[in-house]
Structure formats: C-alpha cells, structure tokens
Structure 1
Amino acid sequence: MKLSLELAPFAAAVADAARALPGRPPVPVLAGLKLEAAARQLTVAAFDYEVSAQATLAADVTDAGSVLVSGRLLSDITRTLKGKNTIDLELDGTRLVLTCGAIRYTLHTLPLEEYPSLPKTADASGTVAGSELAAAVAQVAVAAGRDDTLPVLTGIQIEIADGKLSLAATDRYRFAVRRIDWKAPSGTTDGQALVPAKALLDTAKMLADADHVDLTLPSDQGVLGMAGPARSTTMRALEGQLPNYKALWPTPDDFIASAVVDSEELTAAVKRVALVADRSTPIQLHFTQDALSLTAGSSDDAQARDRIDATFDTATGAPLTIAFNPSFLLDGLGALNAPSVIFRIVSAVKPALITGANNDGSGVGEDSLSYLLMPVRLSS
C-alpha cells in the first residue's frame, strides 16, 4: 500500500472514525483503525461490534492495499501535525511509514486477518438533512438516562410515521420529543428503533455538515445504518422500547395554567438561585399574574430568592407554585434554544410541559422540542 493525500481531510477522517474506537477493547485488533486504499480514495474505519464508523476521502493511490494500525496513536499523530499540507503513507513489510515534510513515523501494524468484517445494512429507509438531524438529536439526548443498569433508558427512540422522523428519550424524570421532516421512497413502511444515545449523538455530530443523511432502520441483524456522502456508521439497536410518550402527554384540556418567560432571564435566574441548592434540593417556581419568583434552600442552610417578569394565565386566578430539579430544568431550557419558554401546567404534582416560544409568546411550531418534566413533590 502506498499513497499520498492532503493532511487536513485525512486528520478529519481519522478523528471521525476514531469515535467508534472502544475505550476498553475486548480484543487487541479492535483498538485499530483500518486503512483501505483503492480507486483513488482512502477509507478509514473502526468497529467495536456495537458501533462502526467509516470515513472516505480522496487520495493519490500508487499501490492499493489495506492495513490496521493503532487508532489512538494515529489520531494523536494526525491531530498534532499542524501547518502541513500533505502526508505520505507507505506499507513497508509489517510497518506503516507516515511521512509529513521532515517528520517521519514508523508504526507497528495489527493482524488484519483477525479484524472483523463491518456490518452491512439494507437499502435506506429514507433521507433527512444532516444539520436538522444533528440539532434534533442534541436536543433530545439531554433527557436520556445514564444508568447502564437500565439500558433501555440510555437510548433514543427513532420512529418513522406520518412522513415525519420522531426522536424521543427519557430517564423517568423527564421526556424529550422532537420531530423533523423526512423523505422516504415510495412503498417504505413506517418503523422504529431504540439506539444508544451517545452513539447516535456522536454520529449526528459527524454527519451534521451533510446535505442529506440516508437512514436505514434495523433489519434482521438489528443494526441501524446512517450514511452521508463521505461518512457512514452503523450501531446495534437496543432491545426493548421506551414507554409510549403519547399516552403520557397531557391534553390541552388537562392544563390549568400557562406561563411565558424570557428564556435567557429564566436560565440566568435558575443558575443564580441553584447556587444554594444541592443535588437533592429543588428550586421552587412561584407564578403570579406578572412575575415569577424563584426560591431555593432551607431555613437551616443557605437560601436564595430571585424575581423576573413573566406572563401567567390560570383558570383559577390564584398563584401557583411548582418545584423542579434545577439541573433537569436547565437541561430543558438549554435544549429548547428559543427566545422564550412556555410552561403548561396540570398541577403542582403532575408533569409540566415546557416548549419554546417566540418573543411575542407564540409557539415555535408543533415539530419543535417538547420537554415534559416531572416536578418535585414538596412537603407540606
């Protein structure tokens, strides 16, 4: 194998493929990146039996071939080669020689014959814009669980129905749902899959610049596929599925109150008040006709109080107090990414629906992020 290529695209390809490298490889070869040169292009690939990633870039190939080298080392090398234009790769026996200007590296290779074949997917189920997918996954991922003893809750559920792609995640304390536009070939059936949130988030970031991303729902192999023009990945789906969020969502008739608050002001106020709240201490939100007061702490410890403007509407005409975990509330406010937020409240002890709003208080669209947050029950 012998080839020459531009350094910057090569470094980017290595970095993208290295996302799939396992932290603790079960076998030594899985710590490697596979480099395959053929037909004026180089493919860089990684696989850990759960997630695979491939990056393709143009190269001036003199001799085609494949090699397996340490992924972490190659990633470190390409990341530190600043200000160089091209890099030459040449396989010399069992060594891979990298030459970049006056810099020369000689790397040990791993046994290529022991490296597993990357999984293959069926024809694409449909197409979505890379930027929209990346934004939607990032919004929903904040609600995914991080407890590996409950693997179902560490996933993001992808569902295709009614010409839309829906993403949902929950850790039992909050539920985030987002829908985006979806283009599917005629005759494609609806379906769903539950995939690891971290893997999906990494992949969506990698494909964010793609004009289109082909998505393939799991088939008999249980593997979800995502591919852009020069990047592709697969990930093994999780067994099970999330609770049916449609059954959990309040209906418009359930709400007894709503409030519109400036997002930036609320985020800043929550952060100020949360300074006195430990992980088990909620922040209380006291809604009145034209204001929102935030309090935290206890009489036996530090306390904080803040007040910001708010528009509050309630059927009863009475003030309302509801309490939330400050970290969960801030996660939702950050994910909404809207000028204002709307709180729709059923009661002080039932989940509140938080959505984004424009400056005039109008909603930002039915496909935007919906964040259902469980309140903290206050002692009497």
Structure 2
Amino acid sequence: MKFRVDRDVLADAVTWTARSLPTRPPVPVLAGVRIEADSTGTIQLSSFDYEVSARSEIPADVSEPGVVLVSGRLLAEISRALPAKPVDVVLDGTKVTVTCGASRFTLLTMPVDDYPALPVMPDVAGTVDGDDLAHAVAQVTVAASRDDTLPLLTGVRMEIEGEKITLLATDRYRLALRQLTWTPSSPDLSTTALVRARTLSDAAKSLGSSSSVNIALSTGQGIDMIGFEANGRHTTSLLVDGDYPPVRRLFPDETPIHAVVLTQSLADAAKRVSLVAERNTPIRLSFTEGQVVLDAGQGDDAQASEALEATLVGEDISVAFNPQFLLDGLGALNTPFVRLSFTHPNKPVEFTGQDSLEGDDLQEYRYLLVPIRFAS
C-alpha cells in the first residue's frame, strides 16, 4: 500500500474516525484504525468497537492499493503534529512509514484479518438539517444520566412521527424534550429508538456543520441500529435495549403560576449566588410581583443574595434548585426570556423560552426540573 494525501485532510479524517476508540479495548485490534487505499483514488478509514462504528472517505493519490491496521490514537496524534505538507504513507512488511517533509514516523501494524467486519449502514429513514440536529441534541443531552448502572437513562429517546422528531432525556431529576422537523423517506414513518446520549451527541457535533445529515434506521423485529451520514462520513451505533419510562406524562397539563425573567440575567445571577453554595446544596429563588430574589448559604456559612426584575402571574412562590441543573436548563435555552411555570413549590418546574416579555412561550423545547425541598 502506498498513497499521498493532504496533511489537513488526513488529520481531520483520522481524528474523526478515531474519536470513539475504546480506552481499554477488550482485544488489541479494536484500538486500531483500518485504512483501505483504493485504486480509484479513495482512502477509507474505519473504526469499530462492536457497538459504535465510524467510517470516513477522503481523496488521495493512490500508487498501490492495500489495507492496513494501525493504532488509531497514535496515528491521530502524529497526523495532527505533522507540518503543513503532503503526507506519504507506505506499507513495508509489518510496518507503515508516514513521511511529511522532514518528519518521518514508523508504526507497527496489527493483524487486519483479526479485525471485525464493519456493520452495514441501515436504510436511510430521512434527512435533517445538520445545525438543527446539533442544536436539538445539545439541548436534550444535558438531562441524560451519566450513571452507567442505569443504562436506559443514559440514552435519548427518539420518537419519529412523519415530519416530526421528538427527543427526550432524563436522569430522574430533570427532563428535557425537544421537537424538530426533518424530511422522512416515507411520510407516514412512525417509530422510536433509544440512542446512547454520548454517541448521539458525538455524531451531532461532528456532523452538525453539514447542510443535511442522513439518519438511517434498521428495522426487523425492532430497531436495533441507528446510523448518521454526511460529507463522506458514516457512523453507526447499536441502540439501547429496554422500555424507556413514560416520561411525557410528567409535564404538567396546567400551571397556575408562572414567572418570566431575562434568561442571561438569571443565569449570571445564579452563577454568582451559587459561589457560596456548598456542594450539593441548593440556591433558592423567591418570586414576588416585579422581582425574583436568589439566595444561597445559611447560618454561619457564607451567604449571597441578588434581586432581578421578573414578571409574576399568580401568587408568590419560592423554590430551590441544584445550581448546576438550573444553569444547564438556562444554558440550553436560546431565547431572550425564560418562563418558569409552577404548580406547587415542591413539584417539578417547567422551563420554556420566550422571545419577548409578553406573549406565549415556545413549546419546541421544554426543560422540567425537580426542586429541592428546603426548610421554611
């Protein structure tokens, strides 16, 4: 195998392909990136850990076609460090030589025959705008659990009904819902999938700059794989098994009390006030007509408070939140104003965005946060 490729193109492709390689692979070959040089002038880089696969195709000047398997992380580090000159890659026996200008590296190869066959990309179910997907996934994954002992909650539930996709995630303390439109391959498509939040977030970030992203789903007795494809890059992932809890019903039907505050002002004040909050202690928000007062700390400890303008509809109310969960929700909103809708001081509070102080809230993104009980 022998080929020449642009340094930036190689570094970008190797970094993307190697991004999901396992830190402690169950077998050594899974730490590798498979490189296949085709006589048509295409290089295909692949990685696979039996759950997530990645494949990237780039143009190159191929002198001798061939296949090789080398350490993915090492190749990524080397390719990023090379000077801005063309890169020559040559297979010589059991070693691969990477030459770029005056730089020369030799890498040991791994047995290609021991590498597992990559999964076939499922049928394309539809296309979605890359920016829309990246934005929606970022808004929802903040609420997904990081606790691997609860695998169901580390996933994002994807509900597809025709031209609408709904993403849902929860870690039991907060719940995020985001709706977006896409172009399905079949107008009456109706299905669900539970995708690992980390995998979904990674795919959305890395493909989000594309004008459109193909979403592929495999169906049989049930969906078992999802794939994303854009600009010569393909990634697949096995879905999470199990029944996701019926979280939609947690959103309240009616909220007799709501308050509207400038989103950024509330986030900035929460950051300042939370500086005195001990770990795992809440900050309290007390809403009265015309203002909200944030405070944290008590007794002989450091204390802080700050008042902001707020519009309140309904009776006065006070709630307490985990500071980081509050900031996550406010950070996910991309609207000038946030509406906090209440049913009771100890019941979950719904966060939605508003474009102006008056008017209706926007329902495409909803963040539900469980308050922390505090002593009166």
Equivalent-residue separation in structure 1 for 2:115 and 2:11 (angstroms): 22
1:18-167 residue pairs with structure 2 within 5 A? 18-38=18-38, 39-82=40-83, 84-167=84-167
Partner of 1:237: 239
Equivalent-residue separation in structure 2 for 1:259 and 1:218 (angstroms): 44
Partner of 1:348: 345
Does 1:291 find its partner at 2:287? no
Does 1:189 find its partner at 2:189? yes
Count the aligned residue pairs: 373
Shift in Å, 1:373: 0.6
Partner of 1:372: 368
Question: Given residue 228 of structure 1, which amino acid in structure 2 is its aligned partner?
Answer: A
5+ residue gaps, structure 2, are none
Question: Given residue 228 of structure 2, which amino acid in structure 1 is its aligned partner?
Answer: M
Query: TM-score if structure 1 supplies the norm length?
Result: 0.95
Partner of 1:325: 322
5+ residue gaps, structure 1, are none
CA contact (8 A) 1:218 1:237 kept: no
Distance 1:110 1:264, change over 3 A: same
Shift in Å, 1:188: 5.4
Question: Given residue 227 of structure 2, which amino acid in structure 1 is its aligned partner?
Answer: G
Equivalent-residue separation in structure 1 for 2:356 and 2:3 (angstroms): 55
**Residue 238 of structure 1: SS of its match in structure 2?**
coil
Question: Given residue 41 of structure 1, which amino acid in structure 2 is its aligned partner?
Answer: T
CA contact (8 A) 1:55 1:232 kept: yes
**Worse-matched range after superposition: 165-174 or 115-124:** 115-124
**Residue 325 of structure 2: SS of its match in structure 1?**
helix
Question: Given residue 334 of structure 1, which amino acid in structure 2 is its aligned partner?
Answer: G
Distance 1:15 1:362, change over 3 A: farther
For residues 117-148 of structure 1, the C-alpha deviation after alignment (integer angstroms, 9 at most, x for no partner) is 11113311111111111111111110000111
Question: Given residue 230 of structure 1, which amino acid in structure 2 is its aligned partner?
Answer: G
Shift in Å, 1:165: 1.1
Question: Given residue 358 of structure 1, which amino acid in structure 2 is its aligned partner?
Answer: D
Partner of 1:224: 226
Question: Given residue 376 of structure 1, which amino acid in structure 2 is its aligned partner?
Answer: I
CA contact (8 A) 2:352 2:363 kept: no
Shift in Å, 1:379: 2.7
CA contact (8 A) 1:191 1:217 kept: no
Partner of 1:337: 334
**Residue 307 of structure 2: SS of its match in structure 1?**
strand
For residues 299-333 of structure 1, the C-alpha deviation after alignment (integer angstroms, 9 at most, x for no partner) is 1322211101111111xxx3211111111000101
For residues 169-198 of structure 1, the C-alpha deviation after alignment (integer angstroms, 9 at most, x for no partner) is 100000001111111123653111111111
CA contact (8 A) 2:122 2:225 kept: no
CA contact (8 A) 1:263 1:338 kept: yes
**Residue 363 of structure 2: SS of its match in structure 1?**
coil
Query: TM-score if structure 2 supplies the norm length?
Result: 0.96
- Give the superposed CA RMSD: 1.5
